[in-house]
Amino acid sequence: MNVSMSILRRPLSFNAKRALLKGFVVGVIVVAAYLTIVVVTTPNLPAATAIATAFTINPMIIVGVAIGVGAQVAMTSYGKTLGCSLRGRKGFISAGSGGTVFSSFLSFFSLVPLGCCGSWLLILSLLPSIFGTTLSGALIQYSIPLSYAGLAIVVGYTGLTAIKLRKELRQRDRTVSQFKEDNK
């Protein structure tokens, strides 16, 4: 307990502050993009009503994806400033972004019956010609659980990024400690 409290009391470095700010800004952009899509694809409802409905139906998806993507960007950015190699992570272009798109895409389906995202009805009508009737029916029927599965993918990749960053930083600390001992 004392070790974790001392870490929390330690002031953040410039690189850490910059990475956190970058992650926060990206998280806000994700929420803004999601809500913009909701408003643009819902011409029959006022913007405030469409946004309120989206937050009523999908609060975990909206907030979870924003936090997951923001945290992943913050950790990746912080790792890059320290010269850490987080193989396979290149900001938005990672496997985690696929989970973000998947989760967001499916979460819009749950808003259609409420009058939101009416333009998604067109997309829904095209699904059978793209994916086939059975898969399209499953996507529509299970859109909410599948949205949460997409969110789990985002959180999972964010967790993997955290584990890789921590491992890389520990390895770096061990190398520096060993170098200091060898040069005494």
Q: What is the pLDDT of residues 75-93, one digit of tens each?
A: 888 888 888 766 554 544 4
Predicted TM-score of the model (pTM): 0.75
Nearest to 111 by CA among 102, 103, 120: 120
> Distance between CA 101 and CA 72 in Å, rounded?
15
* pLDDT means over runs of 10, the chain (184 residues): 55 87 93 88 85 88 89 88 66 53 69 62 72 76 80 85 86 80 75
